[in-house]
Structure 1
């Protein structure tokens, strides 16, 4: 169940980040409220995930999935670009998460 909570937390964090872009420095009411609610719920669910997943594994997984998804969101929705070194950085984060999940902690 911990990974279900983690997946939901990551999804809400991505929603909050997406809304943060539209909140325009918290000057737009509805995106700002949506952002705060999404972040509040994501941290609640993350805390539930930590009841059964080690913090290091959960946070590394959260970070890696968040980075990958936010890159795709920024490219696909906001038409932002990423250069070759940025792609290398994302690949290194993914490699680090895989190593941490496989070798980094005792389960």
Structure 2
């Protein structure tokens, strides 16, 4: 169950990162509220996952899901630039997440 909590915590990290961008520096109410709620939920699920998973594994997987997810949202939704080095970096993070799960 901890891995499921951790997975959803990572997805919520993507949500809050996206809506933080949309909040324009916390000047827009609705995106700001979504950011804060998603942050709290993400942290809560991370805390639940950490009851049984090691800190190093939990935190690395949580931030990795958020980082790669935010990268993909940036490209697919926000039209951010794509280049070989950025893609290779995201693939390396993903490989690290897979190896951490397998270990």
**TM-score when scaled to structure 1?**
0.85
Structure 2: gaps (5+ residues)? none
2:14 is aligned to 14
Alignment of 1:56-71 (within 5 A): 56-71=56-71
Task: Report how many residues are paired.
Answer: 103
Q: 1:8 to 1:99 in 2, by over 3 A?
A: closer
Deviation at 1:67, TM superposition (A): 2.0
Gaps in structure 1 of 5+ consecutive residues: none
Partner of 2:95: 95
Residue 87 of structure 1, CA deviation: 1.7
Q: Secondary structure at the match of 1:53?
A: coil
For 2:50 and 2:57, the matched residues in 1 are separated by 10
Larger radius of gyration, structure 1 or 2?
1
Return the alpha-carbon distance in structure 2 between the equivalents of residues 96 and 41 of structure 1.
25
Shift of 1:96: 2.6
CA distance in 1, matches of 2:23, 2:40: 16
2:72 matched residue in structure 1: 72
- Relative to the length of structure 2, the TM-score reads 0.88
Match of 2:83 in 1: 83
Query: 1:32 aligned to 2:32?
Result: yes
Offset of 1:20 from its aligned partner? Answer: 0.6
Q: For 1:67-107, what per-residue CA distance to the aligned partner results, in whole angstroms no more than 9, with x for missing partners?
A: 2211211111101113222222222222333333334xxxx
